[in-house]
Structure 1
Amino acid sequence: MTERRKAATQLDIAHAAVELFIERGPDGTTAEEIAHRAGVALRTFYRYFRNKQDAVAPLLASGADRWRALLAATEPGTSAPDALEHAIAEALSVPDEQAAGGLRSTRGLLRAAADDPALRAVWYRVNQESEERLVPVVAEIAGAGADPLEVRLAAAAATDAIRIALEAWAATDADVEGPDSPAALAVRCLRELMGGMRLVGLGNGPG
Structure 2
Amino acid sequence: MTTQPSPPTAQPSLTERRKAATQLDIARAAAELFAEHGPDGTTAEAIATRAGVALRTFYRYFRNKQDAVAPLLAAGGDQWRELLAAAEPGAGVLTALERAVAEVLSAPDAHAVEQLGWTRGLLRAAEEDPALRAVWYRVNQESEERLTPILGALAGKDADPLEVRLAAAAATAAIRTALEAWALTDAATEGPGSPAELAARCLRELTGGMSLS
After TM superposition, the score normalised by the length of structure 2 is 0.91
Shift of 1:86: 0.5
Shift of 1:45: 0.5
Is 1:152 aligned to residue 165 of structure 2?
yes
Counterpart residue type for residue 74 of structure 2: A
Query: What's the counterpart of residue 15 of structure 2?
Result: 2
Query: What's the counterpart of residue 93 of structure 2?
Result: 80
Deviations 1:96-149 (A, max 9, x none): 011011101110110011000000000000000000000011011111211100
Shift of 1:77: 2.6
Query: What's the counterpart of residue 100 of structure 1?
Result: 113
Query: What's the counterpart of residue 128 of structure 1?
Result: 141
Shift of 1:198: 1.4
Query: What's the counterpart of residue 209 of structure 2?
Result: 196
> RMSD in angstroms over aligned alpha carbons?
1.1
Query: What's the counterpart of residue 12 of structure 1?
Result: 25
Counterpart residue type for residue 73 of structure 2: L
Is 1:42 aligned to residue 42 of structure 2?
no
Shift of 1:62: 2.3
Counterpart residue type for residue 158 of structure 2: G
Structure 2 distance, partners of 1:23, 1:165, is 25
For structure 2, list consecutive stretches of 5 or more residues without a partner in the other structure.
1-13
For structure 1, list consecutive stretches of 5 or more residues without a partner in the other structure.
201-207
The answer (yes or no) to whether the contact 2:89–2:156 under 8 Å persists in 1 is no
Query: What's the counterpart of residue 110 of structure 1?
Result: 123
Structure 2 distance, partners of 1:55, 1:20, is 11
Structure 1 distance, partners of 2:191, 2:125, is 24
Counterpart residue type for residue 149 of structure 2: P
The answer (yes or no) to whether the contact 2:89–2:155 under 8 Å persists in 1 is no
Structure 2 distance, partners of 1:2, 1:141, is 31
The answer (yes or no) to whether the contact 2:29–2:50 under 8 Å persists in 1 is yes
Structure 2 distance, partners of 1:3, 1:97, is 27
Structure 1 distance, partners of 2:118, 2:63, is 22
Counterpart residue type for residue 44 of structure 1: T
Large movers: runs of 4+ above 3 Å:
none
Query: What's the counterpart of residue 79 of structure 2?
Result: 66
The aligned length equals: 200
Query: What's the counterpart of residue 53 of structure 1?
Result: 66
After TM superposition, the score normalised by the length of structure 1 is 0.94
Structure 2 distance, partners of 1:154, 1:109, is 26
Counterpart residue type for residue 206 of structure 2: L
Deviations 1:157-185 (A, max 9, x none): 00000000000000100000002100010
**Structure 1, 100-109 or 165-174: larger mean CA deviation:** 100-109
Relative contact order, higher structure (CA 8 A, sep 6+):
1
